[in-house]
Amino acid sequence: MLVRLFWGFLFLFYIGAQPAFCQQPADSPAPDGQDIYAQRCAECHGSRGQGVSATISMAGPPLLAVHDPATVLTAMEVGPSHMPRFAFVLSIDQMRAVAAYVTQQLAVMPMNQGSLPDGGKLYRLYCNPCHGPTVRGGVLAFTDVNPPSLANTSLPVVAGVVRTGLGPMPPFPPQVLSDKQIDSIVKYVQFMQHPPNAGGSPLGYFGPVAEGFIAWVALFVIIGVCTWIEKGGKG
Ligand code: HEC
Ligand code: HEC
């Protein structure tokens, strides 16, 4: 069984690797990641990877903390959300060159020294008012600014967006938050994306207000039912 799986994977890998051989003639010069980035990516992610601060949905997030080439390759292959797919536009070698350029030249924010407790304090101070205590967003949902849930946002994007801002969200320059402090906030967001579960229903992690609200609704329903029973169940 395992052996068959192994050969199956090897075969798939072989098939998957084919375009690399087809698209690149042996004598073509090595692709220039910076050039391709300027032509294909800068309009949405900014010329220095700082992101584009615009309310249009096409605006790409900052790439300042994207250190993993696999993240860049995956984004180009898949085309998440409003980003176009580049799988049929760029060759494998060209995508590798862009991934190297992004992770080595544009990713200027180090991400490996944060502390969870500090992150919690900083988050409550700077982010809580808009994104809510459980990072599920929506605190200002009834105004024209609508802070999104961060429950599925990738961590490099969190770091980049905090540094440069995005649309109505203000930027937090180094004078306000150091790289290390942003890193701590990212750790906290990561923690809250997968909070330890103490049992019971998580109620979608909407936080104390919503949970209290659900309790009130339940109470009124119970009172209603009791009244109805008392009346003999005839309404
Ligand atoms: C039309 C605008 C647009 C273009 C052009 C574009 N992107 Fe994107 N990109 C986006 C958007 C929007 C997202 C956020 C998707 C989401 O919300 O998941 C994104 C996400 C990404 C991410 C994911 C970051 C993460 O950690 O999740 C990477 C990496 C990325 N883009 C790299 C690139 C590269 C490299 C190019 C050029 C080859 C490129 N993008 C071209 C709009 C664009
Ligand atoms: C004044 C309110 C406000 C504050 C304070 C604020 N944000 Fe935001 N944030 C927003 C709004 C509004 C957006 C949506 C921007 C857009 O999409 O145009 C946003 C977007 C984001 C995004 C992008 C989410 C995505 O998936 O595209 C991240 C990440 C983020 N905020 C993290 C943070 C963190 C971390 C903090 C604390 C350091 C913070 N924000 C502070 C209002 C705020």
Question: What are the C-alpha distances in Å from 12 to residues 15, 17, 73?
Answer: 5, 8, 18
The ligand minimizing its distance to the Cα of 171 is: 2
Q: Residues 22-81: pLDDT tens digits?
A: 455 556 788 999 999 999 999 999 999 998 866 556 678 999 999 999 999 999 999 998
How long, in residues, is the chain? 235
What pLDDT is recorded for position 153?
92
Task: Report which ligand 1 atom has the smallest distance to the Cα of 57.
Answer: 12
For residues 111 and 118, is the Cβ–Cβ distance under 8 A? no
Q: Is the pLDDT of residue 16 over 70?
A: no
Q: How far is the CA of 200 from the centre of ligand 2 (A)?
A: 30
In this prediction, residue 232 has a pLDDT band, given cuts at 50, 70 and 90, of: confident
For residues 34 and 103, is the Cβ–Cβ distance under 8 A? no
Q: What are the residues whose beta carbons fall under 8 Å from the beta carbon of 80, sequence distance 6 or more?
A: none
Q: How far is the CA of 210 from the centre of ligand 1 (A)?
A: 33
The three-point CA angle 208-211-216 to 5° equals 120
Q: What are the residues whose beta carbons fall under 8 Å from the beta carbon of 68, sequence distance 6 or more?
A: 103, 156
The ligand minimizing its distance to the Cα of 153 is: 2
For residues 64 and 94, is the Cβ–Cβ distance under 8 A? no
Amino acid at 21: F
Q: Is the pLDDT of residue 210 over 80?
A: no
Answer with the residue of higher pLDDT: 112 or 174.
174
110 pocket-lining for ligand 2 (C-beta < 6 Å): no
Answer with the residue of higher pLDDT: 229 or 197.
229
In this prediction, residue 17 has a pLDDT band, given cuts at 50, 70 and 90, of: low
The ligand minimizing its distance to the Cα of 74 is: 1
Answer with the residue of higher pLDDT: 223 or 32.
32
Q: Which of 36, 39, 45, 67 for a ligand 1 pocket mutation test, highest count of atoms within 8 Å of Cβ?
A: 45
Residue with CA nearest ligand 1 atom 23: 75
Radius of gyration of the chain (CA): 24
44 pocket-lining for ligand 1 (C-beta < 6 Å): yes
For residues 165 and 46, is the Cβ–Cβ distance under 8 A? no
Tell which residue, 93, 68, 67, 90, has the closest CA to residue 79: 90
- Taking residues 144-160, report their average pLDDT: 87
User: How many CB atoms are closer than 10 A to CB 176?
Assistant: 13
